[in-house]
Amino acid sequence: MIEVKDIQKSFGDAHILKGISTSFDKGKTNLIIGQSGSGKTVFLKCLLGLFTPENGTISYDGKIYSELSSDQRRDLRAEMGMVFQGSALFDSMTIMENVMFPLRMFTKMTKAEMEERADVVLQRVNLPDAHHKMPSEASGGMQKRVAIARAIVNNPKYLFCDEPNSGLDPKTAIVIDNLIQEITDEFNITTVINSHDMNSVMEIGEKIVFLKDGLKAWEGSNETIFKTDNDAVTNFVYSSNLFKKVRKMYLDENEK
């Protein structure tokens, strides 16, 4: 579990995060949503330890990040996996070498042990025959799967995903959503996803934190988001006519 208490972050005169408190549960897909400029990217980078808040605390299973030594912070980072927007694979490395990269950084495994572990996670993300391909030979969906394999290869306790469906067609996006949710449940990971994809919100949003102007404006789940009367949430989530119709159908059905 990750617990956040009164996080505030500024850059010069720009006050980006204005006192956010929430928690992200283990074994659940936790989504951060909000319009561009709402502060969700800065918030995610604070959770990753890339930005240091001026006020507030972030704790990881009871360990408060600001109170850890540099060695303890390094150990904590080794327990984090990250799926970057655009996958961020190394073009000069094979898919196998990309997946092995965190093992080289954070473990003392032999090459054979790293290859065995990389093979296990590539099998898990349904890429059993992609080991020796280059990223340029893989489709966008395959690259996302490689990025997920790399993120989980070190058995992380915490998995962070920044717009994991960016650039994917709707069908492939659903496959990636389901894969992230399956892995989260299977390995009991605390997963935090920064997303603007409303399909992801509806499909895998077990916990949803909605940010607006640097504040937590609402939190709930993909079940309760249908029922909310929070105007900021409904205007954002149900901005399209299609989603407005879906919400109306849901509310009408549940009133019967």
Given this model, what pLDDT does residue 187 score? 92
Given this model, what pLDDT does residue 242 score? 64
Average pLDDT over residues 46-55: 94
* Strand pairing category for 215-220 and 63-64: unpaired
**What is the rounded CA–CA span in Å between residue 179 and residue 108?**
28
**Of 3-12, 23-32, 60-69, 221-230, which range is least confident?**
221-230
Is residue 248 in some structural domain?
no
Count of domains observed in the chain: 1
Parent domain of 186: 2-223
Q: What is the CATH number of the domain that holds 145?
A: 3.40.50.300
E runs forming strands in 66-176: 80-83, 158-162
**What is the rounded CA–CA span in Å between residue 97 and residue 114?**
9
Given this model, what pLDDT does residue 217 score? 93
Going from the C-alpha of 202 to that of each of 11, 104, 221, 222, 223, the distances in angstroms are 33, 37, 9, 5, 8
Is residue 53 in some structural domain?
yes
Is residue 246 in some structural domain?
no
- Locus of tokens 């997946």: 99
Give residue 19's region: left, alpha or beta (phi > 0; psi -120 to 50). left
Is residue 239 in some structural domain?
no
Cβ(122)–Cβ(153) under 8 Å?
no
Is residue 15 in some structural domain?
yes
Torsion over CA of 49, 89, 204 and 26, rounded to 10 degrees?
-40
pTM value is 0.89
